[in-house]
Amino acid sequence: MNGGMTYVNFFPNDWGGATRGFLSLEEEGLYIRCCSYMWDRGEPIPGNDNLAAKLLQVQVQKYIKVMAALIEKGKMIRGQGVVFNTRVMEDIERYRLEQSERSDRAKKGHQTRVLSMQKTTELHEEITRLRAHIERIERRSHADHPPTDLGGVPPHQPGGGSLGGHSGGTPLGHQEKDNKINGEILNQQSTTLHIPLPLPLPVKEESKKEKKESPPHTTRMPRAPEPELAPVGVGVCRPGEQEVSPGLFVNCDTVRHAEFAISIAGIAMQLATANTGLSKNEATEVARESSVAHALQWAAEIAAGRSARSVVPSHPANFIRGAIIAQRNKDAAHRNSMSRPAGAGRGRQSGPSKPTRSEIFDAVAELESEEVQSSQSRRFP
């Protein structure tokens, strides 16, 4: 798998609505196999029929026949040397974009964690270095200034006179009274340790700016009320649009509703590239008429209380394009059957043609109406 998808959002309702009654069993089988190949490999099907049939494990002649029918019905597109489906390629591109965004988020998260761990390690190393520096300073200070032993001081002898005339000893002079006791000089050198304190952290400029007070004697003027703007919502007609139904707006390129939006230009471009025989202007006109018709029906059902999810398909543009192509194929088949001369065939007798589904429905409706009329005539003579 080269850049393919590991999963895909498959909607059975959309698939059945776009294939049931429109594709034969062989066509639907090759169609799902082509989609699975493109989802898995992340690339279109090769344009070479022999190579494509080998990759899809289909007989070459059957592949050529069924693929031609899928291309004619607008399910597959052949161009630039490949065969592809527009919706499948959009799914692959969207999946690759999501995977790229997830990878970028994972890389950013990993880089953030690595930087946080580096900062924590550097902080622990700095704390260890400061502690070692403080211990060295303390050891050096004890070595330079060892503690002084004052020794024992004899107690004062009673009756021995005063400090000026001590019996049996040498009287202390005026200058030695403070520093001598019984002939011993005390060492009063300070032994206090001077350990440098850590410097204060620099104050951020932002905090200084925040502490600046407003100049005195200033009066704040009340702000003028902002002008109210007209709301531009989904239920408001915008410039260049025409409201064809309550809440449904149409312009040259888009049909817009609160619950859905249809791109007329996108449908026209798909029709023009689907070998339908329509020019760009004809495809645009057909896409506009069909889009407005479907949008009116969906808007009416939503206004009647039905949920938009049960009324509008998940991909309205693809649904409308498929409906247009199916109707054109049906009209072309009807014209061919009407223009074919009676008894035409390859040496075989032409039997009665098989009625279409629409003809069967019309016949059933006529029979039901006749039964209703006959019952009414018998009830009310």
Structural contact between residues 42 and 93, judged by C-beta atoms closer than 8 angstroms: no
pLDDT tens across 33-70, in order? 999 999 998 899 999 999 999 999 999 999 999 999 99
Contacts of 265 (CB under 8 A, 6+ apart): 253, 284
Output the pLDDT for position 149.
55
The 10s digit of each residue's pLDDT in 285-304 is 888 888 889 888 888 888 88
Residues 254, 308: contact at Cβ < 8 Å? no
Cα–Cα distance for residue pair 160/154, rounded to 1 Å: 13
pLDDT tens track for 173-184? 444 444 444 444
CA atoms of 52 and 63, how far apart (whole Å): 8
In which order are the strands placed within the sheet that holds 261-263? Answer: 242-245, 248-250, 254-256, 261-263
Q: What's the confidence (pLDDT) of residue 366?
A: 65
Answer for the pair 286, 276: CB distance below 8 angstroms, yes or no.
no
pLDDT in the model for residue 162: 44
Q: What is the pLDDT of residue 176?
A: 44
What integer pLDDT is reported at residue 31 of this predicted model?
A: 92
For 328, the token pair is 């054109």
369-372-378-381 Cα dihedral, nearest 10 degrees: -70
Residues across the chain: 381
Kindly calculate the radius of gyration of the chain based on its CA atoms and give it in whole angstroms: 48
Domains of the chain: 12-92 (1.10.10), 242-335 (no CATH)
Contact between residue 36 and residue 336 where contact means Cβ atoms under 8 Å apart: no
- In the block, tokens 């260890």 appear at 128
What single letter denotes the amino acid at residue 184? E
Q: Which one-letter amino acid corresponds to residue 55?
A: L
Q: Output the tens digit of pLDDT for each of the chain's 381 residues.
A: 456 888 888 888 888 888 888 899 999 999 999 999 999 988 999 999 999 999 999 999 999 999 999 999 888 999 888 999 988 998 888 888 888 888 888 988 888 888 888 889 989 999 999 999 898 898 888 887 766 655 554 554 544 444 444 444 444 444 444 444 444 444 444 444 455 555 555 555 555 555 555 555 555 665 655 544 444 455 677 777 888 888 888 887 888 888 888 898 888 888 788 777 778 788 888 888 888 898 888 888 888 888 888 888 888 888 888 888 888 888 888 888 777 665 555 544 444 556 666 666 666 666 666 664 555 455 444
> What is d(CA 44, CA 354) in angstroms, rounded to the nearest whole number?
38
Rounded Cα distance between 104 and 119, Å, is: 23
Assessment of whether the complete model's pTM goes beyond 0.75:
no
